[in-house]
Every structure is written in structure tokens, then in C-alpha cells.
Amino acid sequence: MLSHPQLLTDPFLQRPTENSVRVVWFTEFAGSHHIVAYGENFSQIVTATTTKLSRAREDQNSQVEQVYQQTTRRHIWRHEAEVTGLIPNTKVPYRVTSVREDGQSVSSNTFALAAKPLPGMPLKILLTSDHQLKPMTAANLQKVVETVGVVDAVFFAGDLVNVPDRASEWFDDRRGCAFFPCLQGRANYQLTKNNIQTLYQGGELIQNAPIFTAIGNHEVMGRFSSDSCLDDQFDDTLPRQVAEKILTPRILNADVRNSQDSCLGTGDDWVKDYSFNTDTYEEIFTLPESQEGGKKYYAVTFGDVRLVVLYVTNMWRTPSLAANARGKYKECDRILNNPENWGYGQHIFEPIKQGSTQYQWLESELNSVEFKRAKYKVVMFHHPAHTLGDHIVPAYTDPVQIIERDADGNIKAVRYEYPKQQDYIIRDLVPLLETSGVQLVLYGHSHLWNRFVSNNGTHYLETSNVGNSYGAALSEKQRTVPSGYQQEYTATGNPYGLEPVVPAIAPLLGSDGQPLPYVASNDITAFSILDTETGIVSSYRFDTRNPDREVLKFDEFRLKSNK
């Protein structure tokens, strides 16, 4: 006898317009029909469209009750319905119902949806990133709700999970801190500090507020394989041009295409299957789209905010120079004669340098009427522009490959240099944003909180301290950088001139008793809220070692209004 059906997630809100919003949820059954009921007495009904995730899988490293001996496809269905006829600035109750093939049904709790808010509507927006199932994520989001209540939107600057094709990281990792449960108040994470165990459930956020996301390096999956584990596939990215050059002859061979290791796609799809893709991320979310970038980069007006989301991230590689390291600065010694297995350094997934398609789209967006008339102009992407974190080194630029050969022409080393003066974020992107009047640039990647402000008043905020922090490169703590290379790589501080701002209200103190310009802790978690009524960005911290203590506001700054 079949058990009663369950929803894999609560519904969440996507892509609001002036009179509509999308409602999305997931199940592990295709079902016979799925609906959203909304309005007074839930008298209005809209039927959902159902699709199936094409790359959702589990493997031997999945943290789920079922034990997988090999990489296995997981059958997950996505349901989406567009609720129309909404009145701006008016919340409407709703719930979803899914009916299984045997006729048994399951419904969600009741939540509230709304169309896109009009300018002038006061909003509270959560600014966050780098959840990645980290230990303090559930606590962080639970404290958001306990501190500020229901938010009106979530701006998420990338790295939602760790391995994007591993389904359980999105839905039901048994450790209790998967992506959707944490953002829907359905987490079940036991955090132990000072021998005190505290259960955190995350926060009920995205059932009632839309989430807007940017692509981080952990939303990008590497070369597809039917037998290797998902962690290996995630790490195995190739630049597009390398995949085309090296693998085209093999792909055109019918025996290869029909083998177990063949790609999923047909036609041009093989390029992403043998290089990298964001398919699972794009299948999960219904985001605003640009003609040039689709869901990868886009812009949307939300109340008084014009949010511009960019695809600015690259492949993370280890800084190690060990012989077996396929890293930022070198290739693994044992694979020097196999270029298709090289890592190609920290190669960039989508160009942002001047003249690129994304850069040209951004120029057009920054000159648009919607952008110019917005009270607050916010740009969000993943890779840091300014930070004390490790991940700002080396420079955000295309790796310069240097192949060293012996007297017989054999490869003895492959190294990578990253010219600092060619950092595309600093050289090309930042000047464009600052001259266009952007007030806030939001990013993540380094798992800490720090902020900067330029001479013209552009604020740079990294608010990604939800656990597993790698520290801030100041004083004794230094980044792992190579010596003997042509380039000089900055071991401490922010390489690009701006000094970090000490929190305005209650900074943490260092061992010397001096205020610290950052939060980089595996005990203290931080989050930030943009209040559009005042233009103030407030940051809060919570010490998980003392679960009974209050959340503390430790910093705030005001965005200069465009009106």
C-alpha cells in the first residue's frame, strides 16, 4: 500500500510582474494534476505546468537514507503556475495541491503571494549568499525571521548548494540543512556549540517573498559522466573553446557518442556536456531574463530597487603547488601529457570584460530608463570586487598558460599567471558601475562579512558568513600565494586599494582589543537587510555559542537616494 503523498518542497515565489507571480513547488511523483488555489476562500484556481528535472542525480556521497552505489538519476518533478489578476501592494492567501496518480492528494499550508511592489512601497530585502549546506545556515535564516519578520524579497549572490546536480542538496539532505528547507523554515539542523545542542529550522521566507539569484561557481556543473561521482564531475570543468578543440574529433565519432560516457544532449549540447553547464540551476528557478543572457544575467525593477544580476564567477581551483595538485597556478604533474584532463586554472565561465556580450548588455541596461529612474540601484554577482577573503586572489582574468618543456620538447610543467592589471572586475566592471550611479554592489564567495565604500559613494558588501569561513587575510592570517612567479599575488588585505570599513555600531574586537573590519567566524553568523523606506542596510550577527542571547545589530549604512 502506498504511503500518503508528500510535497518535496513548500511552494515558493518567482518572477513577479505588475499583476502576476509564479508559484513553484516540487514532488517525487508526476501526478495527475497540480493546482494553486488563492484568494478569498481559495475560490480561484490555476493549474500548474509540470516538467521533470533532467540532471537531478544522487551518488555514493549523497547524504540521504537510501544508499547509492553509483551515480543514479533521481526522478523529481517541478510544478509551476502563474497567478494573474493581482493588485499591486496587496497580499493574497494561497496554497498548492498535488494529486498523485492514484488519486490521493496533498496540500501545502497557507502562505501569501503578491504582485511586484510599486515604487514607494517600503520593503525589507534579505541580502545573503553562500549557503552551501553550511553549519550555521539554518540558524542564520531562523534569526532573520525572528529579528525582522517576513521579508519582501531575497537577493542571493550565488553558491546556493555545493554540487548542483546532487538533488538532495536542494531538497532533503539528511543532515537537515538543504537549500529549500532552510529558506522555508523546514530545516532540521542540530548545531552543537560548547557541548550545547540546538535545533534550528531556518526561516519561512520564500513561500511569501520572491527570491532573485545570481550564479556562483557552485551553480556550475562540469563534464557529464554516467559513472563518475558527482563531486568529480563538478570539479571537471573545461573552457568551452578547449572542449571544442580537443574533443570535437571524439564527439563526432559515433562509437563515443553512443557509449556510456556520451553526452546527454544532441547537436550543440555536447559542448556544455563536455565543458560546463548550469542546467539544474536554470531548471529549478524561473527568473527574469535578458535577451542576451537568459536567466544567467538579467535586470528587474522591484519597488524602489533596480536589481541588476550578473554572471561573474570562475572555476575555483586549489592554491596548492603540490605535485598532485590541479590548481590555480599549475597542472597536476602526472597528467601533463593529457591536456583534456587539465584544469586550465581558474577559467572564467562567462566573459564580463569590455566588449563582451554581457558587458555590452550591461552598458545598455545602465543607460535604460528603468535603471536611471530607480531610487536604488543594486548590482549583484558572485565573485568579490573588494574583499579581505582568500578568493580575490588571483586576479579575475583569463589565465595566461605557460608551458615549460625540456630539451627534448617534453612538457615538464604547466603554470598559470593572472596579470593583476587585467582584472576584469576592477579594470572594466567597477568603473562602469561607479560612473552609472550604482549605490550598492552585493557579492559573496569568501564566506565572511566585510564592506567597502569608494570615493564616489558606491558601497561594496560581502555578507556570506553562514559557516565554514576561511578567515580574513589580515595580520597573521595570509593567503596561500606562490613565490617565484612573474606576477605578485597579494597575501594580505584588499588588493585593490579600498580599505575595509569598521562596522559602525558594534564591531567584533581582535585579540589586541582593536575593532575588526570583518566577521569571519565559524561560531558567529551574519546577515544583512536592505530597508528601502530609509535606504539603510543593516547587518546583524548571532553568536551560536550562546543560543539564548539576542541577535545584535553591528553595522548600518545608508544608500544615497536617487530621488
Length of the chain: 563
Q: Which pLDDT score is estimated for 434?
A: 97
User: Which residues, given as ranges, of the chain have pLDDT below 50?
Assistant: 254-267
Q: Which pLDDT score is estimated for 256?
A: 47
Is the distance from CB of 319 to CB of 327 less than 8 angstroms?
A: yes
Q: Which pLDDT score is estimated for 262?
A: 43
Q: Which pLDDT score is estimated for 461?
A: 98
Q: Which pLDDT score is estimated for 267?
A: 47
Q: Which pLDDT score is estimated for 467?
A: 74
Q: Which pLDDT score is estimated for 259?
A: 43
Q: Between the CA of residue 404 and those of 226, 325, 328, 417, what are the distances in Å?
A: 35, 17, 17, 13
Q: Where are the alpha helices (DSSP H) in 82-148?
A: 137-148
Q: Which pLDDT score is estimated for 3?
A: 87
For residue 96, give every residue at least 6 positions away whose Cβ sits within 8 Å of its Cβ, in sequence order, or none: 7, 11, 23, 25, 34, 35, 36, 37, 48, 79, 81, 107, 108
φ/ψ of 7, rounded to 5, equals: -80, 140
Express each pLDDT in 12-40 by its tens digit. 999 999 999 999 999 999 999 999 999 99
Q: Which pLDDT score is estimated for 258?
A: 46
Q: What is the DSSP string of 234-274?
A: HH----HHHHHHHHHHHHTSHHHHTSTT--S--TTHHHHHT
R_g of the chain, CA atoms, integer Å: 24
Specify the residue for cell string 567566524.
521
Among residues 397, 352, 349, 104, which one has the least CA distance to residue 240?
A: 349
H-helix or E-strand containing 231? helix 230-235
Q: Which pLDDT score is estimated for 245?
A: 86
Q: Which pLDDT score is estimated for 261?
A: 45
Q: Is the pTM of this model over 0.85?
A: yes
Specify the residue for cell string 539528511.
174
DSSP-derived 3-state class of residue 483 = coil
Q: How far apart are CA 449 and CA 446, in angstroms?
A: 9
Q: Which pLDDT score is estimated for 249?
A: 67
Among residues 360, 248, 371, which one has the least CA distance to residue 308?
A: 371
H-helix or E-strand containing 230? helix 230-235
Q: Which pLDDT score is estimated for 260?
A: 40
